[in-house]
A and B are shown apart, each in its own frame.
Chain A
């Protein structure tokens, strides 16, 4: 049995990531539905081969093939908290209070959700100092 000597770097990097401010990507296309949920539509990245097939067989050749993604109630709630002012930590706190879950649970849920949004290009994360 040994002590773990968590280096200050690791702690700092987590703190830094919690201090980041997520911002909506302006190029992401989304709308709020009547029930308050968020619907994204985004272009499907196609290879050159499939692009040529699409151009040949699509009725509207200028149309870019898109995919739709609808967030559930919790996801939409988090999306609305992304306003360029709230940090990741703030969002976790608000989420934990709203859904009456522990900070640990909120952190797991929110951070994995933000990661997914980031991977899809819907948000951009800025360091706290920016």
Chain B
């Protein structure tokens, strides 16, 4: 379950890392495993993480020492009392900017999933900022709970749950167009979210946008219309499948584009595969894909 957002703190979840952040700390996705948090257009801190390699035999202490050495920052010892509480869940090393006692960076390695988390603080951690930072770090969840199914993605004004076997292959946060792409073997899924829906639909129809975003060529009569929604599912013949495979294209696709007039957004899901696309996957993705007011 996701903790309900309130005005002060909001949940974000990106590439299997979930945390609560103050509402005025805007998360800027800078990489698949890198988020920068800004307040009033100034960086507050950044979080990077790395999953353990399958062949990695390095102990947590050795990994901490190596990363600390590579950072070039002096180690902060002893660990300040407020930070000791994390020692149960993580192996920790704090780094200072100079010989002072204020943390400038932190290295955490989860004792359960062995993921490495790196924090770099752009502002001096004192007073309220320090408290907020500690609260944020307490809220971090770097691995899935056993009862959970799917990986939650919650950023900007949307959330979606993807099956665990999907991996993020690309993303783009353009002006008014967000796009996330996932792959699993030959299967590809693209998720789109467009802002300024009203203006876009004045210039173009929902079907045109579906064709444009999915690089498709669906005609008016073959599209399926529902209220504020257009979708298309391909049923290629054997000959069409062969032709597509020769052109190195996925013969099967399922595309859905939905207009959310109350939020002035358009959400889209595009599935491409060499095999028929499972109906339950599409329906579960559709169900979990939500857009909420900013």
Contacts and interface: CB of A to CB of B under 8 A. Distances in A.
Contacts of A101: 175-176, 195-196, 294
Interface stretch (B77-85, B116-124, B216-224, B241-249): B116-124
Contacts, number: 69
B105 A102 contact: no
A106 B196 CA distance: 12
SS class, residues of chain A in contact with chain B: helix
A74 B195 CA distance: 12
Interface size on B, as a range, is 20 to 34
B53 to A, nearest CB: 11
B71 A3 contact: yes
A106 B195 CA distance: 11
Contact of A74 (B67, B71, B199, B293): B199
Interface string A8-28: 000100110010000000000
Nearest to B38: A103
B42 interface: yes
A99 B195 contact: yes
B278 interface: no
B176 to A, nearest CB: 6
Contacts of B294: 100-102
A18 B67 CA distance: 34
Interface string A86-126: 00010010000001111111111100100000000000000
B227 interface: no
Interface residues of A, number: 27
A18 B176 CA distance: 20
Contacts of A32: none
B293 A108 contact: no
Contacts of B176: 101, 105, 109
Contacts of A103: 26, 38, 41
Interface of A: 1-6, 11, 14-15, 18, 72-74, 89, 92, 99-109, 112
18 contacts: A1-B48, A1-B116, A3-B105, A3-B118, A3-B120, A4-B46, A5-B120, A11-B122, A74-B199, A100-B264, A100-B294, A101-B175, A101-B176, A102-B26, A102-B156, A102-B157, A105-B175, A108-B174
Closest CB pairs A-B (n = 9): A109-B175, A108-B175, A101-B195, A1-B50, A3-B71, A3-B120, A103-B26, A102-B156, A105-B175
